[in-house]
Amino acid sequence: MRARAETALITAGALALAFALFGLFLLANRLNPLEVYAVLWLGGFGTSFSLQATLTQAAPLMLTALCVAIPARAGLLVIGGEGALVAGGVCAVLAGVAAAGLPAAVGTALVCAAGAAAGGAWIAMAGALKHRRGVNETISTLLLNYIAIALLNHLVSGPIRDHTVSLKVTSWSIPQPYMVDAIPGVGVHWGLALGVLACLAAYVLLRYSVPGFAIAVLGGNARAAQLVGLPIGRLTLLACALGGAAAGLAGAVEIVAVHGAASSSLVVGFGYAGILVAFLARQNPLAIVFFAFLVGGISASGGLMQRRFDMPDAATQVLQGMIFLCVLGSNALYGRVRMFRVARAGA
Amino acid sequence: MTGTELGWWGVALAVAGGAIRVSTPYLFVSLGETLTEKSGRVNLGLEGTLLMGAMSGYGASYLTGSPWLGVLAAAASGALLGLLHAAVSNLPRVNDIAVGIALFIFGTGLAFFLGKPFVQPQAPRLPTLALGGFSDVPAIRAALEVSPLFFIGIALAFVMHWALPNTRWGLIVRAVGDNAEAARTAGYPVNLTRTLATALGGVFAGVAGAFLSLSYPGTWAEGLSSGQGLMAVALVIFARWNPVHCVWVSLLFGGASALGPALQTVGVTGYYYLTGAAPYVLTLALLIASSSRRHRLAGAPGELSINR
């Protein structure tokens, strides 16, 4: 309990510092930070309309954050969420087009499963390279992001392009019945429920299941895991595949709930923002739900801030970068805050 | 003969010329990363540094009218981002790779935020050396328009190659990178050395950015860099932390990047995006080929977190 309070306090402090630094940055650019933060609140959280926009952003962020958090449990730093999301989106479209004519619910489930499988396979590649050849997973997943985006651009500009749409370069669309609606009364698509469920499932799996425990042992000390005879290769692959499947599912959700077809609209940085969410949550799947909401709100408010202050839309990215740096720096504080140290010594 | 009549020879020529042009940013970024990694740190945020360098170089060149002042401004912004990386990474229990990812997001955002006013105006560009004066073929002349930064980069590679094993500073950097505990015991300041190495690595990456915005392609726009800063980390592994090898590897990558546009000129189209992915696929393939499951890579600094 005390450890949790320590985490909450230090993370809140890091966030406060980041917002203060961003305020100074705004002052240096002749903007009033209080006005900007008021608009950020309005655009991200203040109205039911902006809350809907925020939750719509939060859904894919939860899933891409899991793509960092689950492999992190195994001691891997995977940053391939963007690529896995794209791979999942493309394969979701292919599955939907190939399996037209099924009952709606079956079709939707199939499309989502295809996306998850593709994303899982995409990141599992990096896991296999790590285990078999010792290729650093951070670098390989980063390269795989670029390769996935190039493949997407190639496919939608030729082989799977819908030539009946002339205004936009986009792929064929999945059958209309496979698309999902908003959750009744909330105004946000079902991907949000899926994201929360995935986070809960990941939490239970990592905390209370045998494979989850084995993954944690591997992440804690790879040598010890080897000595007690754990199947390191299979666990590495499992952690990568599960993480990738989450990001691939995010791609499929973007297809069935938002776009209906694959295009460069899939590449909007959910993968990279998901890394921030995972680190803010300290790789805890339950905390991811909350921080995806927070980061989603910052992203969602970008448009309004841009219109109101004539700011470049990169402003939200600057803020996200500052938050990321402050949260990483705050790692140094653990075990050093006197309040918690004294409490611990007494316990 | 004109460029189009050269046919496939034209492709080879364009790839060679492109290799020289496109390799320059790879060269500077990989030299900077080599220096940083030699001190035992990884800076994965050089993509952000590259973009900040490109923006500040372009802006300074536009405002002062001197492209070389632009290069200086780019170097300064690179140093600042390098110092930021080092300052956060110096804190206990902070993962330098994660800091790099944060700086990648931060630097990219900052470059586009501050660089918005410079998207329209045209800034003075860096001069080039026309080495193709002997030929009448326009394609050859175009291929041999070489930026002086290319030669500065090659000179730097040889200077680093000599300085790392032969100077006091070089030996301190290597000692800190190979075994921080031993270096600390011998009285060398570990964090200060790494801070300076990361800042200087940032300077190199900043100059690489200035090349992008002031020489080739020579403009400031979104999508200016295409992951050169990220690929540098993989490139350095393939070059085995050897500055002279960085030159060859950069030329190889420059050629790979020039392949797509060159093929388009002879009418091979439809694979534009796939040939554009060639550098990434090449990086991954080389990384797979040069990694090993059992041994630490030859030449790898002992303290490096990406090799554990």
> Measured in whole angstroms, how far is the alpha carbon of residue A286 from the centre of its chain?
13
Q: Of A81, A70, A78, nearest to A247 (Cα)?
A: A81
Asked whether the beta carbons of B296 and B289 are under 8 A apart, the reply is no
Q: What is the pLDDT of residue A147?
A: 95
CA distance B215 to chain A (A): 24
For residue range B151-209, list pLDDT tens digits in order. 999 999 999 999 999 999 999 999 999 999 999 999 999 999 999 999 999 999 999 99
Residues 241-270 of B with CB under 8 A from A: 270
In a domain, A321, yes or no: no
In a domain, A315, yes or no: no
Q: What is the pLDDT of residue B1?
A: 41
In a domain, A318, yes or no: no
Q: Confidence class of residue A166 from pLDDT cuts 50, 70 and 90?
A: confident
Domain range spanning residue A231? 61-283
ipTM of the predicted structure? 0.91
Tell me the average pLDDT of chain A: 92
| Percent of chain A predicted with pLDDT > 90 | 78
Please state which of the ranges A174-178, A239-243, A245-249, B157-161 shows the lowest mean pLDDT: A174-178
CB contact under 8 Å between A312 and B116, yes or no, is: yes
Among chain B residues, CA nearest to A279: B98
- Burial state string for A134-166 with b = 16 or more CB within 10 A and e = fewer than 16: bbbbbbbbbbbbbbbbbbbbbbbbeebbbeeee
Please state which of the ranges A32-46, A49-63, B188-202, B226-240 shows the lowest mean pLDDT: B226-240
Q: What is the pLDDT of residue A3?
A: 84
Nearest beta carbon to residue A325 from set B106, B280, B291: B106
Q: What distances in angstroms separate CA B280 from CA A9, A130, B243, one per listed residue?
A: 41, 17, 21
Q: What is the pLDDT of residue B143?
A: 73
Strand stretches in chain B, DSSP E: 129-130, 145-146
| pLDDT tops 90 at residue B269 | no
**How many domains does the structure of chain A reveal?**
1
Decide: helix, strand or coil at residue B124.
coil
Mean of pLDDT values over A83-92: 97
Residues 155-184 of B with CB under 8 A from A: none
Mean of pLDDT values over A248-272: 93
Mean of pLDDT values over A205-224: 93
Residues in B touching A154 (Cβ below 8 Å): 271-274
For residue range A101-134, list pLDDT tens digits in order. 889 899 999 999 999 999 999 999 999 999 999 8
Please state which of the ranges A24-33, A81-90, B103-112, B140-149 shows the lowest mean pLDDT: B140-149
Tell me the average pLDDT of chain B: 89
| pLDDT tops 80 at residue B132 | no
- Burial state string for A273-282 with b = 16 or more CB within 10 A and e = fewer than 16: bbbbbbbbbb
For residue range A290-315, list pLDDT tens digits in order. 999 999 999 999 889 889 998 888 89
| Percent of chain A predicted with pLDDT > 70 | 98
Rg (CA), chain A: 21
Tell me the C-alpha distance between B142 and B164, whole Å.
36
Tell me the C-alpha distance between A280 and A11, whole Å.
7
Q: What is the pLDDT of residue B131?
A: 80
Question: Could you tell me if B277 lies within 8 Å of chain A, comparing CB atoms?
Answer: yes
CB contact under 8 Å between B44 and A320, yes or no, is: no
Higher-confidence residue: B4 or A21?
Answer: A21
Q: What is the pLDDT of residue A345?
A: 46
pTM (2 d.p.): 0.92
Q: Of B156, B128, B126, B152, nearest to B141 (Cα)?
A: B128
CB contact under 8 Å between B112 and A317, yes or no, is: yes
For residue range B198-247, list pLDDT tens digits in order. 999 999 999 999 999 999 888 998 778 878 888 888 889 889 899 999 99
Question: Could you tell me if B9 lies within 8 Å of chain A, comparing CB atoms?
Answer: no
Q: Which of the given ranges, A100-109, A217-226, A335-344, B30-39, has the highest pLDDT on average? A: B30-39
| pLDDT tops 80 at residue A338 | no
Q: Of A81, A78, A34, nearest to A266 (Cα)?
A: A81
In a domain, A5, yes or no: no
In a domain, A3, yes or no: no
For residue range B104-114, list pLDDT tens digits in order. 999 999 999 99
- Residues of A near B (Cβ–Cβ under 8 Å) read 77, 79, 129, 131-136, 138-140, 142-144, 146-147, 150-151, 153-154, 157-158, 272, 275-276, 279, 311-312, 314-322, 324-325, 328-329, 331-332, 334
CB contact under 8 Å between A158 and B283, yes or no, is: no
CB contact under 8 Å between B288 and A135, yes or no, is: yes
Tell me the C-alpha distance between B176 and B249, whole Å.
26
Residues in B touching A321 (Cβ below 8 Å): 48, 102-103, 105-110
Q: How many CB pairs under 8 A join A and B?
A: 140
Q: What is the pLDDT of residue B296?
A: 67
Mean of pLDDT values over A268-273: 92
Decide: helix, strand or coil at residue A252.
helix
In a domain, A316, yes or no: no
Q: Confidence class of residue A238 from pLDDT cuts 50, 70 and 90?
A: very high
CB contact under 8 Å between B109 and A131, yes or no, is: no
- DSSP structure string for B287-308: HHHH--SSSPPTT--TT-GGG-
For residue range A175-198, list pLDDT tens digits in order. 998 998 888 878 888 999 999 999
Element (H, E) at A170: strand A170-173
* Cis preceding linkage at B92, omega within 30: no
Rg (CA), chain B: 20
In a domain, A163, yes or no: yes
Asked whether the beta carbons of A270 and A13 are under 8 A apart, the reply is no
Tell me the C-alpha distance between A233 and A65, whole Å.
23
Question: Could you tell me if B191 lies within 8 Å of chain A, comparing CB atoms?
Answer: no
In a domain, A230, yes or no: yes
Residues in B touching A272 (Cβ below 8 Å): 105
Q: Which two tokens stand for residue A74?
A: 């195994």
Q: What is the pLDDT of residue A341?
A: 64
| pLDDT tops 70 at residue B42 | yes
Tell me the C-alpha distance between A10 and A4, whole Å.
10
Mean of pLDDT values over A265-283: 94
